[in-house]
């Protein structure tokens, strides 16, 4: 089983990256493979809207590190996305990844996979909640399933690199987010999830309607 962590900060030791690591700890402890793709050392250019992908079976014309994301989308069973808050939005680096998913939209590699979101901004009420919602919207657009942490996604206030390490509560909330995503992923992958077998289901209904317990009591 594989979990994908996408780190949207361009800073190597960004606070959002640290929270992402904490959220992934429960997966490591459960023996999952953990793939982290960090936008501090990967380059993903913005989508050109050329629609080359529509004519060439999902192949994007841009040759850069996005190929790693396409592979990881296909391989993962769950994902967690972390981002700094930039102008009450995700980082431009992360938005490029979101948009480049366009090439594989018909394939829907993230469909039905559970995901969690983390946003770190410098200000109180600096747009963290909105940024978490933007990540959740991307999940919905990709067919992925939003999983909350303690309350919603993780929202945190921090500025200098590493500041978040002093905030026990936020580190714990990141871990809870990871635990929740892990729990949903395990459940989804241990059950046959899909449309019910219509014939079997209708047969059961017919049987139920004619069985003695389904009839009204006499008298």
Q: Cβ of 127: how many Cβ atoms within 10 Å?
A: 18
Minimum distance of ligand FMN from residue 115's CB (angstroms):
18
**Cα dist. 76→1, 5, 36, 46, 73 in Å?**
7, 10, 11, 23, 6
User: Closest Cα partner for 6 from 95, 88, 86, 125?
Assistant: 95
Binds ligand FMN (CB under 6 A): choice among 26, 84, 114, 153: 84
Binds ligand FMN (CB under 6 A): choice among 32, 70, 86, 98: 86
Check residue 115 for interaction with ligand FMN (CB under 6 A).
Answer: no
Binds ligand FMN (CB under 6 A): choice among 85, 94, 104, 182: 85
Minimum distance of ligand FMN from residue 126's CB (angstroms):
2
Q: From the centroid of its chain, how far is CA 49?
A: 24
Check residue 41 for interaction with ligand FMN (CB under 6 A).
Answer: no
Site for ligand FMN in 142-161 (CB under 6 A): 158-159, 161
What is the b/e burial string over 153-180, where b = at least 16 CB atoms within 10 angstroms of the residue's CB?
bbbbbbeeeeebeebeebbebbbbbbbb
Minimum distance of ligand FMN from residue 53's CB (angstroms):
29
Our CB check for ligand FMN shows the closer of 115 and 121 to be 121
Our CB check for ligand FMN shows the closer of 89 and 105 to be 89
What is the contact surface with ligand FMN in residues (CB under 6 A)? Answer: 9, 11, 14-17, 84-88, 120-123, 126-127, 158-159, 161
């Amino acid at each position: 089983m594989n979990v994908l962590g996408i780190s949207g900060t361009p800073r190597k030791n960004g606070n959002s990256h640290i929270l992402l690591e904490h959220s992934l700890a429960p997966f490591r402890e459960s023996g999952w493979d953990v793939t982290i793709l960090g936008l501090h050392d990967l380059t993903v250019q913005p989508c050109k809207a050329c629609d080359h992908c529509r004519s060439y079976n999902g192949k994007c014309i841009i040759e850069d590190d996005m190929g790693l994301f396409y592979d990881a989308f296909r391989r993962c069973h769950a994902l967690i996305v972390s981002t700094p808050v930039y102008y009450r939005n995700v980082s431009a680096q992360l938005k490029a990844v979101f948009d480049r998913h366009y090439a594989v939209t018909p394939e829907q590699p993230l469909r039905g996979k559970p995901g969690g979101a983390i946003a770190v901004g410098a200000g109180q009420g600096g747009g963290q909640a909105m940024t978490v919602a933007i990540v959740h919207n991307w999940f919905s657009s990709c067919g992925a399933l939003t999983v909350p942490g303690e309350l919603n996604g993780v929202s945190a206030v921090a500025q200098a690199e590493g500041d978040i390490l002093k905030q026990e509560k936020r580190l714990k909330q990141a871990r809870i987010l990871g635990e929740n995503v892990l729990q949903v992923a395990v459940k989804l992958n241990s059950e046959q999830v899909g449309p019910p077998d219509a014939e079997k289901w209708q047969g059961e209904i017919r049987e139920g309607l004619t069985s003695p317990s389904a009839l009204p009591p006499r008298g």
